């Protein structure tokens, strides 16, 4: 377990920069061992799969470096030439598809959100909308994508997130994501009530 010290009502892991309120249930990632990877890792691929339902070849987060409960998360995705999508995108000029970058952002946000769900084996977060997406530079094999996701708004079944992906400090992509919590057993309805805030502009 991570060595933690108590400071002003919060537990703080000095190595992994992970903090959570001592008055609330710690998320699943609080029990993962920290390992060096340029920066300290607080969740590896195995730990991520305990939170997210995604699996290879559609798991696009390799490690989590930072988490602040209900606020923000930082992850990395190591982009390898062995990724299946590079076979066709594009032969002789491999470029990571923008939709996969968005998916990496959504999965990173999903780790933060699903960490707060007690019965996450019965729930899923669906991506409801992508707004203000911008792609600033190509992401190619050998790049390490650093993804930072910040919570803009969080309701019971709806979350609005700001996501920024960088490579070596340069912004590669950014977007605002809207996510919706649904039951695994019941497909998301197209006529969701307004209280879920799906599709509602709240800027």
Does the structure show a pLDDT above 80 at 68?
yes
Spatial distance between the Cα atoms of 2 and 33, rounded to a whole number of angstroms: 6
Q: Exposed/middle/buried for 163, CB within 10 Å: 0-12, 13-18, 19+?
A: buried
Q: How many domains does the chain divide into? A: 1
Flag whether pLDDT at 91 surpasses 80. Answer: yes
Q: What is the DSSP letter of 79?
A: -
188's CB contacts (< 8 A; 6+ apart) are 126, 180, 182
Assigned domain for 81 exists: yes
- Residues 90-95: contacts with CB under 8 Å, at least 24 apart: 94/140, 94/141, 95/138, 95/139, 95/140
Query: Does residue 15 fall inside a structural domain?
Result: yes
> Does the annotation count 89 as an active-site position?
yes
Q: Classify residue 106: in a domain, yes or no.
A: yes
Mean pLDDT, residues 3-20 taken together: 36
Residue 38 lies in a domain: yes
**For the chain, what is the mean pLDDT?**
80
Question: What is the domain extent for residue 168?
Answer: 5-196
Q: Is residue 180 part of a domain?
A: yes
- Select which of 54, 72, 89, 123 is catalytic: 89
201: in domain: no
Adjacent-strand bridge partners of 116 = none
The three-point CA angle 128-134-140 to 5° equals 105
202 domain residue, yes or no: no
Confidence of residue 117 (pLDDT cuts 50, 70, 90): confident
Domain of 31, CATH number, reads 3.10.129.10
Average pLDDT of span 83-100: 97
Distance, CA of 185 to CA of 169 (rounded, Å): 41
Q: Measured between alpha carbons, how far is 25 from 115 in angstroms, rounded to an integer?
A: 10
Is the pLDDT at 145 greater than 80, yes or no?
A: yes
pTM: 0.74
Average pLDDT over residues 98-122: 93
pLDDT band at 41; cut points 50, 70, 90: confident
| 203 assigned to some structural domain | no
């Amino acid at each position: 377990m991570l060595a933690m010290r108590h400071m002003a009502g919060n537990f703080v892991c000095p190595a992994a920069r992970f903090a959570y309120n001592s008055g609330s249930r710690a998320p699943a990632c609080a029990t993962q061992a920290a390992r060096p990877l340029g920066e300290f890792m607080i969740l590896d691929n195995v730990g991520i799969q305990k939170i997210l339902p995604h699996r290879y070849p559609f798991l696009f987060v390799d490690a989590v470096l930072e988490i602040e409960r209900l606020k923000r998360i930082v992850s990395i995705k190591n982009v390898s030439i062995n990724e299946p999508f590079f076979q066709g995108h594009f032969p002789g000029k491999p470029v990571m598809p923008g939709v996969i970058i968005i998916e990496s952002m959504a999965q990173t946000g999903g780790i933060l959100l699903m960490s707060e769900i007690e019965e996450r084996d019965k729930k899923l977060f669906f991506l409801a909308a992508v707004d203000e997406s911008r792609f600033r530079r190509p992401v190619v094999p050998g790049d390490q994508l650093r993804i930072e996701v910040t919570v803009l708004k969080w309701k019971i079944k709806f979350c609005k997130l700001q996501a920024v992906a960088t490579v070596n400090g340069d912004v590669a992509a950014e977007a605002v994501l809207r996510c919706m919590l649904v039951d695994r057993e019941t497909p998301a309805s197209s006529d969701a009530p307004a209280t879920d805030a799906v599709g509602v502009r709240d800027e």
